[in-house]
Structure 1
Amino acid sequence: MDLDARLRELGIELPEPRSPAGNYMAARQVGDLLYLSGAGPVRPDGSLVTGKVGDGGVDLKTAREAARLTGLQLLGTVRAELGDLDRVRAVVKLFGMVNCAPGFNRTPAVIDGCSDLFVEVLGERGRGARSAVGMAELPFDIAVEIEAVVQVA
């Protein structure tokens, strides 16, 4: 499958990767695994989706979209690291963190925004193992942070 053609067909333009916000790498390849550092939800205008999910500030629909935006960031990083998304063999694992208000327990539904995007773009290669957890706080008050492990050719 030509994934660049698939992205065009879906009307998706991947963002340029953002620089790390600290002393770490956006990605590190070890063998045939590419480990992606946590990424957050960046809108096309460069602003971040911020706030707690479930407290009236960020609703489930907005949080799912934040997870989708985060998935776009991750795919942009993969393409920048590998030069070609077609080298992706499988999404091995996603670890999704949601900035939750007390009592919010629908974290899997939030992280589905990223998982659904990966399957939409990569097909069955995009469906991997996953964790979706709630956090009391996330950096810069972002609503969602997701990291990934991807098997590559």
Structure 2
Amino acid sequence: MKQFLISLLAVALLSLSSLSRAAQVHFHKHIDESCGIEVIKERGEIHFGRRFGSDSLTLKLLANNRDKRLHFRLSYFNIDMGAETISSERIHFKVETPERFVGNLDYWRQGIELNLEQLDSSKEVRISARVDMNEYQMPAGEFSLNMEWHLDCY
């Protein structure tokens, strides 16, 4: 009887093993390449004089291809200071990626080349603005620097 039960169990296990099949499966997702800019903080304060202030605006660079170079530049600029005119050499921007880049308006129109390794994990850049003039030399009123930044990936 014991021999019969062992034989029956062996036959049952063999029949079960012949019913089981391996199933090969996988998950898949294609991620499109991205290249652009997202505005995180759209307003900062203009500082006058030789120092940048701490109130900066923040942009996030949307680039996900590690093999591509990034060209970050100022593509549009307009200054609204009433009748006051200021030369482009007096307007300066500081960009922190966390590396620090500083230049005047003409420098930023040319732009800088970056790669993804120069950015931190958030891919955010902070931009501060200053006008190389003393504040007491400026007439009273509102002053605005309106601009558009551009990112090319190549």
TM over 0.5: no
Q: TM-score range with shorter-chain normalisation?
A: 0.3 to 0.5
Q: Which has the higher helix share?
A: 1
The structure having more radius of gyration, on CA atoms, is 2
TM norm structure 1: 0.34
Q: Which has the higher strand share?
A: 2
TM norm structure 2: 0.33
